[in-house]
Amino acid sequence: MIIDGQELLIRPNLGRFTQPFSFIGLPALSLPIKRSSQLPLGLQIIAAPDREDLILSVARVLEEMLIDIPHQ
């Protein structure tokens, strides 16, 4: 992926925004929403411990309602 003209490897950057929450035991998910000025925008969903089911349910509903990322 390219951010601010800098190419970043995808794999090492996958957990960039969710790892701090996972580290303290909170399930987290980063959901891509749309693009703005050529940059992706995302929504981060964080839940109470052991509530992975909740963030997955919320992400599913939001994905059906909000996703606006053109396929490349």
Is the distance from CB of 59 to CB of 18 less than 8 angstroms?
A: no
User: CA distances (Å), 21 to each of 28, 44, 60, 64, in order?
Assistant: 6, 11, 20, 25
9-59 pLDDT, tens per residue?
877 766 676 677 877 889 988 888 776 677 777 888 999 999 999 999 999
pLDDT of residue 72: 46
Q: Is the pLDDT score of 67 beyond 50?
A: yes
Give dist(CA 56, CA 44) in Å, integer: 12
Q: Is the pLDDT score of 68 beyond 70?
A: no
Predicted TM-score (pTM) of the model is 0.61
Give dist(CA 2, CA 56) in Å, integer: 27
Using DSSP, state whether 64 is helix, strand or coil.
helix
